[in-house]
Chains A and B, each alone.
Chain A
């Protein structure tokens, strides 16, 4: 416990508060995260009254030792990737707080809340227009993509 790096200490605290006080529809795989603080799996339920009601999603968070100055790498994983204009079929998410607009004041919890609200505000379930090109050519790490942020009104 005492040998933890500052990023691990921060993650430990975030994990505790997420276990104790999770946002609605969000839960963290605590056992897995405690084994490796740098990689978490988060379960997310499609919110009631939205196009995703009843669906289950999984998010993977990867952290570097520069967290929280460096943003976490966040992707949808598993069998159900939400169909959404900002989510590519390989799970990459086009959301500016995950790269350019990241700030250390944000947290795993605030990222989850943004993703929930991104899904909830969707009016038309479809993949991004450039999905096929992107998925073929992109790097494995979405943070290396120089994103062209899609119009937020979509």
Chain B
């Protein structure tokens, strides 16, 4: 609670500060940044983006009671070299730099890194070449692009050695521009503030104490390193005097990666964005599996075959699966899809990818997901058109009342409540759902309208006998297959029971 309050007031404070300073800064083209010390104090400084890190050290040193050469400036997992120019760091307004005092006894660091031996070689800062840039500036797109995941191990470019690395790049098309810097890494995120897909920035903190005064021992080389916990070790600059928990920590300290939106001014440390790791640059120009075009940004399905689709076709795929209710309710990931080619183990883990859908379809996605959740929890959906309220009722209770629309219905046949046997014969009176259907499940399916008379065809809905999802029939045979993923029950429209060979013989005409 206390933590929440402090961060709340911290945010408020920062927003107010921003309002006060932003106008002035736009005119003078200054950058408002925060400098945070291990002691917990925060300084706000305005700097020219063309100034160097050494200038920042000089600026804040007197206020911290330190000499500039006693300080380290840490940002996004790296200690910034003195000669780095601020605008090379992609800082953005309201970013936070961490300043720590250089420890005299440097043996502590060695202890930690020797325990984290499962991670690669420790990259030693070569501060003489102008020093290190923050991680987001060092990483290049090739490791995070389409089809790169399976090749993770073959890429051995040490990002901190960029200058003499041309010999290490052995991917197929080596062109002249590979002699220059590889393309800077590009991340896409779902930003809850902008409510849209945006460009994202990679940030790093200590997995244990969450302090941003943290430098990585090696750079992440793949999405796995970034998304899975405890992949990359690092040095946390936090000290026991400020965090007692540190004394109890027996493991090496690991980096925890997170993302921020690049497209709005940071609202503080808790202003994070969700990485959309399956949206990647298409450096190898692989064609979309559907339209065969190869635009720059693609959706990569998490399957063994590197199937990829352009974002437009990905959305088309989602919408058609949504209409057919063929999303899967995955116990861990939620309401999601697999690769359209049906590849094994290809569930989309991060369901924020479905935020790419427009508002109307995202709302449908959300509603269907809720309904699916209710069904899996043994609940019932109100059959009243346009209601669909999830109801968890006592299993013995036949007379169900919807709390939302007050409709009273029979649990077994989903028609208006009645005494006696359920009426399974189609008569005009029994069908509340007949004719006046206005729910998408029944109508959208066929909204293409292959002939004008469609609107006059009576759409009749009956619940699937197995999972009770409303299912429509508009002619054709009596053999129904539930379209809901995970159900696929074969049933008979007439008997409202499992389809049998007898049904096939008796009433398939």
Residues of A with Cβ closer than 8 Å to B? 6-7, 9-10, 13, 64-66, 68-70, 100, 103-105, 130, 132-134, 136-139, 141, 144-148
* A7 and B288 alpha carbons, distance in the complex (Å): 11
- Which residue in A64, A104, A132, A145 is a CB contact (below 8 Å) of B290? A104
- Which residue in A6, A7, A145 is a CB contact (below 8 Å) of B477? A145
Contact status B317-A69, CB under 8 Å: yes
From residue A55, how far is it (CB to closest CB) to chain B in Å? 29
- Which residue in A100, A130, A146 is a CB contact (below 8 Å) of B480? A146
Asked if B380 is at the interface of the complex by the 8 Å CB criterion, the answer is: no
Asked if B313 is at the interface of the complex by the 8 Å CB criterion, the answer is: yes
Given contacts A9-B291, A68-B289, A146-B476, 17 further A-B contacts (CB under 8 A): A6-B316, A7-B290, A10-B292, A64-B448, A66-B320, A69-B290, A69-B320, A105-B340, A130-B508, A137-B475, A137-B476, A137-B508, A138-B476, A138-B477, A144-B474, A144-B476, A147-B479
Contact status A139-B341, CB under 8 Å: no
7 contacts between A and B (CB under 8 A): A104-B290, A132-B509, A134-B508, A137-B508, A139-B475, A144-B475, A148-B504
- Which residue in B288, B475, B509 is a CB contact (below 8 Å) of A133? B509
In the bound complex, residues from chain B placing their C-beta under 8 Å from that of A70 are 320
Contact status B476-A6, CB under 8 Å: no
Contact status A6-B340, CB under 8 Å: no
Contact status B477-A146, CB under 8 Å: yes
**A130-B508, A133-B509 known; A104+B340 contact, CB < 8 A:** yes
Contact status A6-B291, CB under 8 Å: yes
**A148-B479, A148-B504 known; A66+B474 contact, CB < 8 A:** no
Q: 4 nearest interchain CB pairs?
A: A6-B291, A133-B509, A139-B476, A105-B341
Q: Give the number of residue pairs across the A-B interface with Cβ within 8 Å.
A: 79
**A6-B312, A144-B475 known; A103+B508 contact, CB < 8 A:** no
In the bound complex, residues from chain A placing their C-beta under 8 Å from that of B509 are 132-133, 136-137
Asked if B450 is at the interface of the complex by the 8 Å CB criterion, the answer is: yes
From residue B467, how far is it (CB to closest CB) to chain A in Å? 16
Contact status B290-A103, CB under 8 Å: no
Interface centre among A7, A9, A10, A134 (most CB of B within 10 A): A10
0/1 interface trace, chain B 420-447, chain A, CB 8 Å (1 if under): 0000000000000000000000000000
- Which residue in A9, A10, A65, A139 is a CB contact (below 8 Å) of B474? A139
Chain A minimum-CB-distance residue to B310? A6
Residues of B with Cβ closer than 8 Å to A? 288-293, 307, 310, 312-313, 316-317, 320-321, 340-342, 448, 450, 474-477, 479-481, 490, 499, 504, 508-509
From residue A136, how far is it (CB to closest CB) to chain B in Å? 6
- Which residue in B289, B317, B448, B476 is a CB contact (below 8 Å) of A145? B476
Contact status B342-A103, CB under 8 Å: yes
In the bound complex, residues from chain A placing their C-beta under 8 Å from that of B307 are 105
Contact status B477-A105, CB under 8 Å: no
From residue B464, how far is it (CB to closest CB) to chain A in Å? 12
In the bound complex, residues from chain B placing their C-beta under 8 Å from that of A148 are 479, 490, 499, 504
**A6-B316, A7-B291, A10-B292 known; A137+B477 contact, CB < 8 A:** yes
Task: Name A's interface SS.
Answer: loop
In the bound complex, residues from chain B placing their C-beta under 8 Å from that of A145 are 476-477
Chain A minimum-CB-distance residue to B291? A6
From residue B442, how far is it (CB to closest CB) to chain A in Å? 14
* A141 and B509 alpha carbons, distance in the complex (Å): 17
In the bound complex, residues from chain A placing their C-beta under 8 Å from that of B321 are 69
Contact status B292-A9, CB under 8 Å: yes
Interface centre among B293, B310, B490, B509 (most CB of A within 10 A): B509
* A38 and B342 alpha carbons, distance in the complex (Å): 25
Chain B minimum-CB-distance residue to A103? B341
From residue A77, how far is it (CB to closest CB) to chain B in Å? 16
Chain A minimum-CB-distance residue to B451? A140
* A7 and B340 alpha carbons, distance in the complex (Å): 15
Interface centre among B290, B291, B313, B342 (most CB of A within 10 A): B291
Contact status B293-A9, CB under 8 Å: yes
* A65 and B319 alpha carbons, distance in the complex (Å): 12
* A13 and B172 alpha carbons, distance in the complex (Å): 27
Chain A minimum-CB-distance residue to B309? A104
Chain B minimum-CB-distance residue to A73? B450
* A137 and B474 alpha carbons, distance in the complex (Å): 11
In the bound complex, residues from chain B placing their C-beta under 8 Å from that of A103 are 340-342
Chain B minimum-CB-distance residue to A6? B291
In the bound complex, residues from chain A placing their C-beta under 8 Å from that of B479 are 146-148
In the bound complex, residues from chain A placing their C-beta under 8 Å from that of B310 are 6
* A121 and B477 alpha carbons, distance in the complex (Å): 28
Contact status B476-A133, CB under 8 Å: no
Chain B minimum-CB-distance residue to A142? B476
From residue A31, how far is it (CB to closest CB) to chain B in Å? 23
From residue A137, how far is it (CB to closest CB) to chain B in Å? 5
Chain B minimum-CB-distance residue to A10? B291
* A141 and B480 alpha carbons, distance in the complex (Å): 16
From residue A58, how far is it (CB to closest CB) to chain B in Å? 21
In the bound complex, residues from chain A placing their C-beta under 8 Å from that of B450 are 141
From residue A88, how far is it (CB to closest CB) to chain B in Å? 12
From residue B338, how far is it (CB to closest CB) to chain A in Å? 11
* A6 and B57 alpha carbons, distance in the complex (Å): 54
**A66-B320, A146-B480, A148-B499 known; A105+B474 contact, CB < 8 A:** no
In the bound complex, residues from chain A placing their C-beta under 8 Å from that of B342 are 103
* A65 and B289 alpha carbons, distance in the complex (Å): 15
* A68 and B321 alpha carbons, distance in the complex (Å): 13
Contact status B293-A6, CB under 8 Å: yes
Interface centre among B316, B320, B509 (most CB of A within 10 A): B316
